[in-house]
Amino acid sequence: MAKLDEVKEILNTLRVGLSLVLGLIVITTGALINKEQLGQVDVYFWLGIAFDFILLIIFIKIVSSIKKHTKEIKDL
């Protein structure tokens, strides 16, 4: 039973992290769209795009980790 509780706690933490990363992606993408519409394509715009891609990679890793831990619960 302790292993099950541990995996559930890990899943809850990953879900919180997923929510935070998704929120950052939405905010960053909105700011990038606004900068592009205003014609302010500068170094911060390109840094924002790089940051967005990094967040997207983190998002994918969290989702795969959630999937792995969900399968682990099924096996317990």
19 vs 10: CA distance, rounded Å: 14
Angle subtended by helix axes 2-37 and 43-75, to nearest 10: 160
Which candidate, 13, 31, 11, places its Cα nearest to that of 23?
Answer: 31
Whole-model pTM: value is 0.87
Amino acid at residue number 64? S
Residues 9-66 pLDDT 10s = 999 999 999 999 999 999 999 999 999 999 999 999 999 999 999 999 999 999 999 9
